[in-house]
Structure 1
């Protein structure tokens, strides 16, 4: 019997990309369910997602914007009922979301408990690499495992891994915190190179503010994990 795979896609004001994202993954035969959680969008995200023709797709709309962590947890409550494998995908991947199929086989073949998508280098310069470096160094410091894609939100999990978490942590440090906990619990993580692309953070003021928040959240998560795992 083939495992049941659910994909959770949190979306906030993604009317431009959500259709292409869904169209590109609905035909992947291994995926049984696609849960879109509209995180209180003010545009037509829910309408456009609902119009994509597929019995696999479930579209949920939150009453207001609550953040990516909340949206993921909301989707997980549904996915955990049936799924053996659960994936997280960003809504802005567009047609490149189809590359998620590269993450599926390593889990099906029991090569890993968690598979993370490793993106190609960014096309435009965003931060100065200090956030990515902090994330990588933090995971290595805590676990002795060297990973390059610690900030990637495109991930597939065996259900048993997610059952270790009462809920997905909130904030920009979520991926780093989860990665540390997963490795500390003895699970294996595999990174897979993909050709996915999404909205990149630039070198403008908004971009630097975003990087600053990420840096602060990761430092806070690292401090918390040091206490938990000492």
Structure 2
């Protein structure tokens, strides 16, 4: 049975998400289980902070752009929660699907849940980053994941405290998973119908995935050292 006494906080790192942040915050506001929505504005150059605040979120603004991991680390220091939802700012209306991630944690069936996304709408890269992440997680933990790069996660506060600090850059999700399983926590993938911004097969998309690959590889090398 769901324990409604738990304080649930949604933590959203955001950089230049003006197009979607209002809809994301609004969708989360509709979830009765969520007590607070906190947006960590990673020195955006657009109206992300103002729009998030107008939609009802508490906004923490960083002076300089520090990346997703650093934004989450700062946000984690400034929230009080029993359950923490880590969500991206570009989910829009589909952020409401986070309720599916929340239920197993509230019910004690998982220490951390991970959103398993549907197949992408656009053709992106060639699966190299996802393949590296999936193989790395399997190598270090034995866990098979369909969405190893998913940033949409829910966890108990003790789990978050054990996993801090989060890895920098695009390797944060892979680092989270490996550390959680190694610490003995139960990690569960949950199918959702979330959508977010996708990169295509263009120069910008390939550059993005190149950075992702390097960041994930760095986290996996570090995991070998800490094993």
**TM-score for the superposition, normalised by structure 1:** 0.94
Q: Deviations over 1:131-162 (max 9, x none)?
A: 11111111001111111111000000111111
The residue that corresponds to 1:20 in the other structure is 23
The residue that corresponds to 1:7 in the other structure is 10
Determine helix, strand or coil for the equivalent of 1:59. Answer: strand
Which stretch of structure 1 is more off in the superposition, 108-117 or 208-217? 208-217
Of 133, 136, 139, 2:131 maps to: 133
How many angstroms apart in 1 are the aligned matches of 2:36 and 2:186? 25
The residue that corresponds to 2:145 in the other structure is 147
Q: How many residues align?
A: 224
Shift of 1:51: 1.3
Report if aligned partners of 2:73, 2:164 keep a CA contact under 8 Å in 1.
no
How many angstroms apart in 2 are the aligned matches of 1:219 and 1:70? 18
How many angstroms apart in 2 are the aligned matches of 1:209 and 1:17? 23
Q: Deviations over 1:14-63 (max 9, x none)?
A: 111111111111021111111011111111111111112x4xx2112222
Shift of 1:165: 2.9
Determine helix, strand or coil for the equivalent of 2:170. Answer: coil
What is the RMSD computed on CA atoms of the aligned residues? Answer: 1.1
The residue that corresponds to 2:122 in the other structure is 124
Where in structure 1 are there 5+ consecutive unaligned residues?
none
The residue that corresponds to 2:166 in the other structure is 168
How many angstroms apart in 1 are the aligned matches of 2:157 and 2:93? 26
The residue that corresponds to 2:66 in the other structure is 66
Where in structure 2 are there 5+ consecutive unaligned residues?
none
Shift of 1:166: 3.7
Determine helix, strand or coil for the equivalent of 1:9. Answer: strand
Of 29, 45, 50, 1:47 maps to: 50
How many angstroms apart in 2 are the aligned matches of 1:120 and 1:76? 28
Report if aligned partners of 2:83, 2:154 keep a CA contact under 8 Å in 1.
yes
Shift of 1:215: 1.2
The residue that corresponds to 2:208 in the other structure is 210
Task: List, as ranges, runs of 4+ consecutive aligned residues in structure 1 with deviation greater than 6 Å.
Answer: none
How many angstroms apart in 2 are the aligned matches of 1:166 and 1:98? 26
Shift of 1:64: 2.2
Determine helix, strand or coil for the equivalent of 1:178. Answer: helix
Shift of 1:167: 1.3
